[in-house]
Structure 1
Amino acid sequence: MRALVLLVCLSVGCLAQKPQPCSSPALMSGSLSVSAQNDRLALAKYTYDEVGQRISLRELGTFGNKTFFHLDILLLYQEGIMYRINRKAGTCVQKHLSEGFHPLAVPKDATLVGQYVLGSSSVPGEGVLVNTWAGKLQMRKGTAEYMTTVTEFGCLPVSTMFCKNNERWVVVSFFDNVAGMADPQDFIPPPFCNDDRLEEEEEENLTAFISLF
């Protein structure tokens, strides 16, 4: 009888340790890179606010044909508006957002691919325990397949791969993540944006990967 109770307790303990879908911190900042098949590499600093449904991409730079440019992108999902800001030129373009806000989280119906250690597990402090998940998301226009990796402790994003409507795969990698209070100033458009009219054309390409988080 004692052996049976011990076996049940061990089984429950094992089940409790199985990775579960999780949500990233509601307020976070850091840097990210975006790359696609046979395409340019983009780098940016980001600020994320789940409560206000806002994302700021600053100093967005794209490498391609030996060129590099800076751009700020402000995504305000509650207002349904995206700002494309060029501070150097003093220009601002406003467009409708085509996708709704999705929080940085592993969907509840995601399938666990595996649990791994980034770096080394031989010495404490040399590795980070992460979980990789995969699944599909129904979006406003079509279906997207994804594979996302987050840290076991804190659910901080590491990388996300996604493919929308069987098109090319896009990879988003996160680094220098800091959980906590986001800077409210990152979500305020510059004064020269006030005079620009909202374009009727919806923005899809830029926000496609954001909508998967």
Structure 2
Amino acid sequence: MLKIILVCVVGLTCVYAPEPPPRCVAPAYFQAQVNMHDHETNFFRAGFFSYDALGEKVHFLEYLQENATRPQATELFLYREKKHYRIDLKTGICNVSALDLEFRPIAVREDSRLLGDDVIGTLDEPGEGVLISVWGHHVDDSRAQGNMTVSFTRDDCIPFTESFYGMSKTSKQELHYHRTFFDVTLGLSDPNIFDVPKACMK
């Protein structure tokens, strides 16, 4: 049940309003199907996403598509080790490169503001829908400047969408991408998912 707070405005009647949801952090370990779309290049990727916030690790296995116009790959991001492993799914060749990006936890940042709530499905019947909270914050770091919008389930902080619109500070090009999570499950089905692939040890 939502907590209720009393809102009073001078000269007006006091009304009750739901308390804004607290800023939240996504589960430390989860996996999900994910769709990613770069609106500027019209580049679309779909795959299986594994996330470890405590170890600062991300694994992405891209789903093969018959009409793909770019090489498809499985990728491992080890942020603490500053390593990026990428295996071409067609050739099996592994490319290892330095990872100079800072790990960004999937979470509602402290400087985010609540943009509103939305409902996926319906709340009229138990188990038929879920309440989503939408948050926004400004991004200004060494790589890009712009606005990020994220959404999470209100009760469990399960990630649903991420959307960024802004500009790259290096290329000066516009950036606009969208990522959607679905079929999210807590924990990891494969405890070795973040091990360095054998193809990358040669």
TM-score, normalised to structure 2, is 0.81
Tell me by how many angstroms 1:125 deviates.
1.9
Question: What pairs up with 1:35-184 in 2 under 5 angstroms?
Answer: 35-37=37-39, 38-61=41-64, 66-67=67-68, 70-165=72-167, 167-181=174-188, 183-184=190-191
C-alpha change, 1:33 and 1:110, in structure 2 (3 Å) is: same
The one-letter code sitting in structure 2 at the alignment partner of 1:82 is H
1:10-53 CA distance string (max 9 Å, x none)? 539x6883112110000111110001225121001011001111
Secondary structure (helix, strand or coil) at the match of 1:107 reads coil
Q: Which runs of 5+ in 1 are unaligned?
A: 1-8, 196-213
Give the secondary structure class of the aligned counterpart of 2:145. strand
Comparing both structures, which one devotes a greater share of its residues to helix?
Answer: 1
State the Cα distance separating 1:138 from its structure 2 match. Answer: 2.6
After superposition, the Cα gap between the structure-2 partners of 1:15 and 1:120, relative to the gap in structure 1 and judged at 3 Å, is closer
Whole-angstrom distance in 2 between the partners of 1:86 and 1:185? 20
Distance 2:109 2:163 in 1: 14
Q: In the aligned structure 2, how far is the partner of 1:153 from the partner of 1:84?
A: 35
Matching residue within 189, 194, 209 for 2:201: 194
Deviation readout 1:63-105 (Å, 9 max, x if unpaired): 8xx3376410000000111101125523100111231101110
Does residue 21 of the first structure (1) align with residue 23 of the second (2)?
yes
Separation in structure 2 between the aligned mates of residue 165 and residue 59 of structure 1, nearest angstrom: 26
Gaps of 5+ in 2: 8-15, 169-173
Q: Is the 8 A contact 1:41 1:62 kept in 2?
A: no
Q: For this pair of structures, how many residues does the alignment match? A: 184
Q: Distance in 1 between matches of 2:111 and 2:23?
A: 8
RMSD: 2.4
Percent identity for Structure 1 against Structure 2: 27
More contact order relative to length (CA 8 Å, sep ≥ 6)? 1
- Matched residues in 2 for 1:36 and 1:125: separation? 33
Deviations 1:85-137 (A, max 9, x none): 12552310011123110111010110100012111222222211010001112
| AA at the equivalent of 1:46 | F
Cα 1:48–1:17 change in 2 (3 A) is same
TM-score, normalisation: structure 1: 0.77
2:171 corresponds to: none
Return the letter of the residue paired with 2:48: K
Corresponding residue SS for 1:184: coil
2:192 partner SS: helix
Instruction: Tell me if the contact between 1:71 and 1:85 (Cα under 8 Å) persists in the aligned partners.
Output: yes
Report SS of the residue matched to 1:43.
strand
